Amino acid sequence: MLTVSDLDLFYGDAQALDGVTLEVAAGGTTAIVGANGAGKTSLIRSIAGILKPARGSIRFKGRDIAGLPSHVVCDLGIGQVAEGRQIFPTLSVRENLEMGAVIPRARAAAKQTFDRALDLFPRLRERLDQAAGTLSGGEQQMLAIGRCLMGKPELIMFDEPSLGLSPALVQELFRIIRRLAEDGMTIILVEQNVAASLRLADRAYVLENGRVVLSGSGEALLADPAVKQAYLGL
């Protein structure tokens, strides 16, 4: 579904991505792991159209989307659950969800996707008229995922979704991501919990200093001695 080829990205003179190449299969879960500063978020933002790469291509369903505006990328079917949730705190839960369906591809099915989001996250149904900024961290993450689903994405990119959540909520979050994958959603997962993300992933890539240094199945990387030592403390 998505192919990234020889992608270079710079912040001024500092190179954040260096020849990154990877593939994301339709209906699969692809994990991107690496230390802080490895380039994971830069890669997500480049795919989303928030950052413009200097070189390389990003092909989504055969179309090169590198450098397209983010609203165009979103309307093509790529959704993002950003690091830090990025909800609208003064708007209600209902209004936040409705904001997710403003893009053209999502408007006709807004009622169905609204109901689906609330089926996935029953707690949000109880808080529809509550200001989003007053929700707990876990509820805000549910809202961020629900709002993304309102855009009817074919591919969802999760950027550090478990950040700041309790262990119980992290388990619930991964259960939801697994359910979305089982429903046929294509997923890119950038996650600090390396072990959990590799267990969930069909395919995984390790980024170091903006470069892909390892790739393989999630199971294979979970068993890789270098990954165990660098990221799992084993």
User: Is a pLDDT exceeding 90 seen at residue 199?
Assistant: yes
Residue 68: what pLDDT? 96
Residue 215: what pLDDT? 95
User: Is a pLDDT exceeding 60 seen at residue 234?
Assistant: no
What is the pLDDT averaged over residues 97-126? 95
The mean predicted confidence, pLDDT, of the chain is: 94
* Exposure b/e, 92-130, CB count within 10 A at least 16 = b: bbbebbeebbebeebeeebeebbebbbebbeebeebeee
Percent of the chain with pLDDT over 70: 99
What is the pLDDT averaged over residues 59-72? 96
Q: Are the C-beta atoms of 149 and 116 separated by less than 8 Å?
A: yes
34 phi/psi in degrees, rounded to 5: 160, 165
Instruction: Using pLDDT thresholds of 50, 70 and 90, give the confidence band for residue 158.
Output: very high
Instruction: Using pLDDT thresholds of 50, 70 and 90, give the confidence band for residue 192.
Output: confident
Residue 232: what pLDDT? 77
Taking the domain 1-77+155-166+181-234, which CATH number applies? Answer: 3.40.50.300
Residue 84: what pLDDT? 80
Biggest distance spanned by C-alpha atoms of the chain: 50
Angle at 182 between CA 147 and CA 160, to 5 degrees: 50
Instruction: Using pLDDT thresholds of 50, 70 and 90, give the confidence band for residue 219.
Output: very high
Instruction: Using pLDDT thresholds of 50, 70 and 90, give the confidence band for residue 230.
Output: confident
Q: In the chain, what are the domain boundaries?
A: 1-77+155-166+181-234, 78-153
- CA–CA separation, 113 vs 197, rounded Å? 26
Instruction: Using pLDDT thresholds of 50, 70 and 90, give the confidence band for residue 7.
Output: very high
Which residue has tokens 């600090």? 192
Residue 208: what pLDDT? 93
Residue 231: what pLDDT? 82
What is the pLDDT averaged over residues 20-45? 95
Residue 87: what pLDDT? 94
- What's the chain's length in residues? 234
Burial class (CB in 10 A: 0-12, 13-18, 19+), 199: middle
Which residue has tokens 């839960």? 93
Percent of the chain with pLDDT over 90: 83
User: Is a pLDDT exceeding 70 seen at residue 117?
Assistant: yes
- CA–CA separation, 220 vs 223, rounded Å? 5
What is the pLDDT averaged over residues 110-127? 94
Q: Are the C-beta atoms of 53 and 227 separated by less than 8 Å?
A: no
Residue 40: what pLDDT? 95
Question: In 3-state terms, the chain is what percent helix, strand and coil (to 5)?
Answer: 40, 25, 35
177 phi/psi in degrees, rounded to 5: -65, -40
